Amino acid sequence: MRTIKGKSDHVVVVGAGLAGLSTALRLTGAGRKVTVIERESVPGGRNGLLEKSGYAFDTGPTVLTMPDLISDALACVGERLEDWLELMPLQPLYRAFYHDGSQLDVHADTAQMEAEIEKVIGSEEAAGYRRYVDFVTKLYRYEMNDFIDRNIDTPLNLLTPNLARLIAIGGFRRLAPKVSQFLKDPRTQKVYSFQAMYAGVSPQQALAIYAVIAYMDSVNGVFFPKGGMHAVPRALAGAAAKHGVEFKYNTSVEKIEKNGSRATAVITSNGERIECDALVLNPDLPVAWRDLLGKSPISIKRLNYSPSCVTILAGSSRSYDHLAHHNIHFGQSWDGVFDELIKKKTLMSDPSLLVTVPSKDDPSLAPKGKHSYYILFPTPNLDADIDWKKTKLQYRDQMLKTMEQRGYDGFGDSIEVEHITTPLEWEAMGLERGAPFASAHTFFQTGPFRPKNLAKGFENVVFTGSGTQPGVGVPMVLISGRLAAERIVGPVK
């Protein structure tokens, strides 16, 4: 495994997102002096917090899986997760609603899920689900150590016995046909393949290895931290600060000083010069290349990006008894949705959407008797010919109309506070092409072909976050923090 050159006594981490915090914990645990510079007033990056009129909203990810990765980061400084976070396992993980009026509760317990599928669809589909769980469990076992949780320098690093095992079970076939080998009903096919959206590719085009995302949530479980998802970066930052990491909030990095191929210091927005032996960059990778390192390699300019989304954070006086914490409303169209978002780059004509109700499990996130809602509609990214300045409010009205049609009677009239984020706002937050899911996980943007976490041309600059290896999602960015730290101090245990 390649590592940076030269000493690494003092490391500056730019950005207190989940990946930056994961890196900082591991570096301070390895005895390095660490300074974290964050432009916002709180940690979290795109895992941010919005407080308004008694409501508290998570502005980024709402689904937490694989909490052992949080435990692992905290353990690097001798801390325990249960001393910093109160995690609630969600039951069900998701509630899926379909165009024909049926619904399916998704459970992590395989016996419980098998019974649910048998009740809603039938015994043959339940048996197929059991075989599918066996398949994705093998995928996870073969992939995790060799392909996800390690630094990859060249494709040759992938030549392990687990590569042969993945090939043998069909991991490099297309996801949708592979899922259909086990699951015959469109309802189960959708609920166990929609996760490809996180990777920026359609189930028809994604490799079957991305079914590992379905394992991470639908088999391993989904959790909710008391206080909302923002409790996670607060916990990581709190533990890091306790163990000596210095945080500089409300501070941006304006310039990186270089001496030859080494970064020697950062200049902040308030004019402070902070010397460093090594530099970790947590901003979106293509933005970090362009705005901080002053250049963009051709390979970075040529990246293709995932679809984006529009979110409405709404404080509402209405509650709906039929909802779970996470609710997925699938339209009748499925292949057509991905064609519109990815190929045609148009808005969904028959939307599928996610509605999360965090106040259902933590009433402190809304005034008494009221609820906070996180509503997400996938959209094309800014490569599409959509003027979001003109379209924003029109699309907001269309989203609310769709919700009314999907069972949220009177929702629009019940909204007391709201905050809308379109691809234009995502771009303003520093996300290339307004894509919060980063560059797409196409074959040549995956694994050894994904942008590397060592900055080419620099001896001591490392990237972390969803734009580099291993990729998108809360588990992946937490892992990317460990991979970044290992580029500086070697293997971290």
pLDDT in tens, 108-148: 999 999 999 999 999 999 999 999 999 999 999 999 988 89
Output the average pLDDT for the chain. 96
- Give the confidence band of 218 by pLDDT, cuts at 50, 70, 90: confident
- Give the confidence band of 205 by pLDDT, cuts at 50, 70, 90: confident
Distance of alpha carbon 24 from alpha carbon 41, whole angstroms: 18
Beta strands in 298-361 (DSSP E): 308-316, 326-329, 353-356
The pLDDT of residue 317 is: 98
Q: Are 249 and 38 in contact (CB under 8 A)?
A: yes
- Contacts of residue 200, defined as CB under 8 A and 6 or more positions apart, other chains included, come to 304, 305, 306, 307, 342, 435, 437, 438, 439, 440, 441, 442, 472
The pLDDT of residue 210 is: 87
Q: What is the CA radius of gyration of the chain?
A: 22
Beta strands in 192-252 (DSSP E): 222-225, 246-248
- Give the confidence band of 455 by pLDDT, cuts at 50, 70, 90: very high
The pLDDT of residue 493 is: 59
The pLDDT of residue 492 is: 67
Each residue of 377-433: pLDDT tens digit? 999 999 999 999 999 999 999 999 999 999 999 999 999 999 999 999 999 999 999
The pLDDT of residue 105 is: 98
Q: Taking Cα atoms as reference points, which of 90, 62, 70, 109 lies closest to residue 219?
A: 109
The pLDDT of residue 145 is: 85
The pLDDT of residue 196 is: 85
The pLDDT of residue 93 is: 97
Distance of alpha carbon 291 from alpha carbon 287, whole angstroms: 6
Q: What is the identity of the amino acid at 88? A: M
Q: Are 486 and 23 in contact (CB under 8 A)?
A: no
Provide the 10 A C-beta neighbour count for residue 415: 15
The pLDDT of residue 491 is: 86
Each residue of 137-175: pLDDT tens digit? 999 999 998 889 999 888 888 889 999 999 999 999 999
Please tell me what DSSP assigns to residue 104: E
Give the rounded percent of residues in the chain with a pLDDT score beyond 90: 90
The pLDDT of residue 154 is: 85
Each residue of 34-56: pLDDT tens digit? 999 999 999 999 999 999 999 99
